[in-house]
C-alpha cells in the first residue's frame, strides 16, 4: 500500500482586506496540489487555542499579538513564524526603514544607495533640517509611520522652501530628496530566496526649467499627474515604460539576498529607481512588509515555492526561532 503523502499546514493571520487580496483561490489550489493547506487564524480568538500549524505567516501588529506569538512558540517551538515582529516594526518607521541599505556589501560594480533624507521632529527644525543635509528641491514629504494605514500614504512633493511652510503634514515626518529616474520604478518582490522584479510608472522627471515653471509650492501625490510625466498619452507612456531595461538579474538577486539577511525578513518588497545623474547607480526609496504580492505576475508559484522551502527546512529539523529568518 502506497504511503500517504505528508501534508503541511500554514496558518495565516491577516486582516480581512489582506485575505481578500492575497488568499485567492489560485494560490489556495496550487498550494493544496503541492501538499500545503492554508488555514486562517482567527484574530478574535487566542492563538494558543488554534492549530496545529507547521508555519505561521502574519501581518498583525501590536504588543498583544507579539505576546501571543511568543506564548505559542514557547508551547510549540518547532513552528516556524514568518516574520519576527521586531524586524517588521523597523519598516513601520521611515526614519529607520532605510538605515540598513547604506551598509550593504555587494560584489557587483553597480552601486545601491538611498536618497538624501532628513527626519523632521518639530516645525521649528524644518528649514534647518533641509539646509543641514544640503538637500535640493524638490523633496518628498512622507509621514513617519509606514504601517499601511490611509494616513501613511499621504505624501507630498515640495518644490521650494516656501512650500515647506504650506505643508499640511505635521511633524514628525521625513523629507526625502527627489531624484530624477526616468519616470519608472522597479518593484522587487521577495519571498525567501525567490525574487521577482517588475516595472511600474513612477513620478515624472522634473527638469530645472519645469521646476521654475511650477506654480504650486506643494503638490499632493494624488495630483502629480498634473505635471504631465512624458507629455504623451497614457498609451505612449506605457510603451515607453516597456522599453526601459530592467536592472541586471544578478544584481537584483544579490541586493534582495543581502537586504533579506540585513533586515531579518522573508516577505517584503523594495522600491528601487535608477539614478539619472550617474551610470550604474540605483536608489532604494522604500521597503514594505508583506506587500501586495497578487499584483506580481505568477505570484502563486513564487509564494508556494516559498512555503515549500519553509516546510522542507522544518522537515530537516532546523528549528527557526521567532527572531530568526527562514
- For residue 95, say whether it is annotated as part of any ligand binding site: no
- For residue 266, say whether it is annotated as part of any ligand binding site: no
- For residue 58, say whether it is annotated as part of any ligand binding site: no
- For residue 214, say whether it is annotated as part of any ligand binding site: no
Nearest to 142 by CA among 122, 123, 120: 120
- Does the N-terminal peptide bond of residue 172 adopt cis geometry, omega within 30 degrees of 0? yes
Residue 79 DSSP class: -
- For residue 109, say whether it is annotated as part of any ligand binding site: no
- For residue 286, say whether it is annotated as part of any ligand binding site: yes
- For residue 186, say whether it is annotated as part of any ligand binding site: yes
Q: Residue 78 to residues 70, 89, 221, 230, 309: CA-CA distances in angstroms?
A: 12, 23, 45, 53, 15
- For residue 184, say whether it is annotated as part of any ligand binding site: yes
- For residue 313, say whether it is annotated as part of any ligand binding site: no
Strands (E), 75-137: 80-82, 111-113, 117-120
- For residue 192, say whether it is annotated as part of any ligand binding site: no
Cα 47 from Cα 57, distance rounded (Å) = 13
- For residue 180, say whether it is annotated as part of any ligand binding site: yes
Number of other CB atoms surrounding residue 172 within 10 Å: 16
- For residue 181, say whether it is annotated as part of any ligand binding site: yes
- For residue 209, say whether it is annotated as part of any ligand binding site: no
- For residue 183, say whether it is annotated as part of any ligand binding site: yes
- For residue 94, say whether it is annotated as part of any ligand binding site: yes
- For residue 271, say whether it is annotated as part of any ligand binding site: yes
- For residue 213, say whether it is annotated as part of any ligand binding site: no
For residues 108 and 120, is the Cβ–Cβ distance under 8 A?
no
- For residue 260, say whether it is annotated as part of any ligand binding site: no
Name the binding residues for ATP.
Answer: 94, 142, 176-187, 202
Name the binding residues.
Answer: 18, 59, 94, 142, 153, 176-187, 202, 271, 286, 288, 292
Name the binding residues for 1D-myo-inositol 1,3,4-trisphosphate.
Answer: 18, 59, 153, 187, 288, 292
Name the binding residues for Mg(2+).
Answer: 271, 286, 288
Amino acid at each position: 500500500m502506497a504511503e500517504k503523502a505528508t501534508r503541511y499546514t500554514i496558518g495565516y493571520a491577516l486582516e480581512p482586506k489582506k485575505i481578500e487580496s492575497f488568499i485567492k483561490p489560485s494560490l489556495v489550489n496550487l498550494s493544496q496540489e503541492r501538499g500545503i493547506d492554508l488555514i486562517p487564524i482567527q484574530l478574535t480568538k487566542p492563538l494558543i487555542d488554534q492549530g496545529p500549524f507547521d508555519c505561521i505567516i502574519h501581518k498583525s501588529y501590536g504588543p498583544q499579538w507579539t505576546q501571543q506569538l511568543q506564548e505559542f512558540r514557547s508551547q510549540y517551538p518547532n513552528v516556524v513564524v514568518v516574520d519576527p515582529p521586531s524586524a517588521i516594526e523597523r519598516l513601520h518607521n521611515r526614519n529607520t526603514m532605510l538605515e540598513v541599505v547604506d551598509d550593504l556589501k555587494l560584489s557587483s560594480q553597480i552601486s545601491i544607495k538611498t536618497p538624501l533624507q532628513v527626519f523632521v521632529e518639530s516645525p521649528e527644525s524644518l528649514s534647518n533640517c533641509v539646509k543641514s543635509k544640503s538637500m535640493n528641491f524638490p523633496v518628498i514629504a512622507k509621514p513617519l509611520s509606514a504601517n499601511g494605514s490611509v494616513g501613511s500614504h499621504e505624501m507630498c512633493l515640495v518644490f521650494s522652501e516656501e512650500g515647506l511652510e504650506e505643508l499640511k503634514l505635521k511633524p514628525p515626518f521625513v523629507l526625502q530628496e527627489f531624484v530624477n529616474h526616468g519616470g519608472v520604478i522597479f518593484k522587487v518582490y521577495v519571498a525567501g530566496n525567490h525574487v521577482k522584479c517588475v516595472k511600474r510608472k513612477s513620478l515624472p522627471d522634473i527638469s530645472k526649467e519645469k521646476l521654475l515653471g511650477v506654480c504650486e509650492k506643494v503638490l499632493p501625490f494624488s495630483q502629480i499627474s498634473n505635471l504631465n510625466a512624458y507629455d504623451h498619452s497614457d498609451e505612449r507612456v506605457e510603451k515607453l515604460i516597456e522599453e526601459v531595461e530592467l536592472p541586471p538579474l544578478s544584481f537584483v538577486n544579490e541586493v534582495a539576498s543581502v537586504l533579506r539577511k540585513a533586515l531579518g525578513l522573508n516577505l517584503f518588497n523594495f522600491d528601487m529607481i535608477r539614478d539619472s545623474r550617474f551610470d550604474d547607480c540605483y536608489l532604494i526609496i522604500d521597503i514594505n512588509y508583506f506587500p501586495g504580492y497578487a499584483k506580481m505576475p505568477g505570484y502563486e508559484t513564487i509564494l508556494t515555492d516559498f512555503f515549500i522551502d519553509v516546510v522542507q527546512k522544518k522537515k530537516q529539523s532546523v528549528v527557526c526561532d521567532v527572531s530568526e529568518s527562514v
